[in-house]
């Protein structure tokens, strides 16, 4: 049976961008991969069908702890549904809750972890969830921060805890890529993803996939056809601008300080301040 290659990140860190790139590189067609088909190329770890299969009951009959208890079994059901390894998106921390692993190592082939400067992330998070920047900063600093889509459960926690749960855990082979590196030197860092995944690296194919997954192209598709993954809370387009250091136009000194006081140690490790 297949195993899972996780595309893991804190929300709004570039996960969808990497998914679009991989879809374009692997499909290798002469036109951009449709953004509204990304959910077929890379599955989501929060798909109800696999939880209900693992539980043998509908989500309407789940108790409070079921979504946590069922995560590793749902991930096994997901992996067992395919004969080949597959990409699966997750925003979960790589932790245990009540002795239940939220990421099933037994069905994992590897991890691509995408990380982004939390100063920029706070701005994008605010737009995506339709919250003020102050509220977004509070949530990025909250160890109990949780997503609950469709009656399920995903603990994302504090940004720095999320990062450390994936990058300081040696039980899974992990490729770490920084959003900023993908933006500043896409040929090198998207190419590294392809090489480390074990795919043949073709320079012409790489450049085409990068072009087909550019923010200009993704934004153009969204404007023409909409994007099914855009939540009703979003106050702007899903694909906003993709620039780095955008926080300088949006965060005041107090907001920056609140993030750096809580996230500073991990920011230093990743070269995001100082």
> In the prediction, which pLDDT does 1 show?
63
Rounded to whole angstroms, the Cα distance separating 7 from 15 reads: 7
pLDDT of residue 264: 93
Pairwise CA distance, residues 273 & 59, whole Å = 43
Pairing of strands 43-44, 96-97: unpaired
- What pLDDT does residue 222 have? 85
Q: In this structure, are residues 94 and 165 in contact, taking their beta carbons and an 8 Å threshold? A: yes
Residue 117: its pLDDT value, please? 96
Q: Which residue ranges make up each domain of the chain?
A: 4-116+146-227
pLDDT for res 248: 79
d(CA 103, CA 91) in angstroms, rounded, equals: 11
Q: By CB neighbour count within 10 A (0-12 exposed, 13-18 middle, 19+ buried), where does 85 fall?
A: middle
Burial of 200 (0-12, 13-18, 19+ CB in 10 A): exposed
Q: Which residues of the chain have pLDDT under 70?
A: 1, 229-245, 274
The C-alpha angle 146, 147, 151, rounded to 5 degrees, equals: 120
pLDDT digits over 211-243, tens only? 999 988 988 988 888 877 666 666 566 656 556
pLDDT at position 266: 96
The superfamily CATH assigns to domain 4-116+146-227 is P-loop containing nucleotide triphosphate hydrolases (3.40.50.300)
Residues 212 and 135: their CA atoms lie apart, in Å, by: 34
Listed in sequence order, the residues at least 6 apart from 136 whose beta carbon sits closer than 8 Å to its beta carbon are 122, 123, 125, 126, 129
């Amino acid at each position: 049976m297949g195993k899972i290659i996780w595309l893991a990140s804190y929300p709004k860190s570039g996960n969808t961008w990497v998914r679009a790139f991989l879809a374009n590189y692997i499909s290798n067609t002469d036109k951009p991969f449709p953004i509204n088909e990304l959910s077929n190329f890379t599955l989501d770890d929060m798909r109800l069908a696999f939880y209900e299969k693992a539980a043998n009951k509908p989500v309407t009959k789940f108790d409070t702890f079921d979504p946590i208890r069922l995560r590793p079994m749902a991930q096994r059901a997901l992996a067992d549904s395919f004969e080949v390894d597959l990409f699966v998106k997750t925003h979960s921390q790589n932790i245990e809750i009540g002795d239940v692993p939220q990421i099933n190592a037994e069905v994992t082939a590897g991890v691509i972890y995408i990380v982004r400067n939390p100063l920029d992330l706070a701005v994008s998070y605010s737009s995506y969830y339709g919250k003020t920047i102050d509220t977004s900063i509070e949530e990025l600093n909250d160890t109990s921060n949780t997503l609950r889509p469709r009656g399920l459960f995903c603990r994302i926690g504090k940004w720095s805890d999320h990062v450390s749960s994936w990058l300081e855990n040696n039980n899974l082979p992990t490729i770490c890529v920084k959003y900023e590196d993908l933006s500043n030197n896409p040929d090198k860092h998207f190419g590294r993803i392809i090489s480390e995944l074990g795919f043949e690296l073709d320079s012409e194919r790489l450049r085409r996939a990068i072009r087909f997954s550019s923010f200009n192209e993704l934004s153009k598709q969204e404007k023409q056809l909409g994007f099914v993954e855009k939540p009703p809370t979003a106050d702007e387009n899903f694909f906003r601008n993709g620039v780095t250091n955008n926080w300088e136009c949006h965060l005041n000194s107090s907001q920056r300080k609140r993030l750096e006081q809580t996230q500073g140690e991990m920011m230093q490790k990743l070269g995001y301040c100082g």
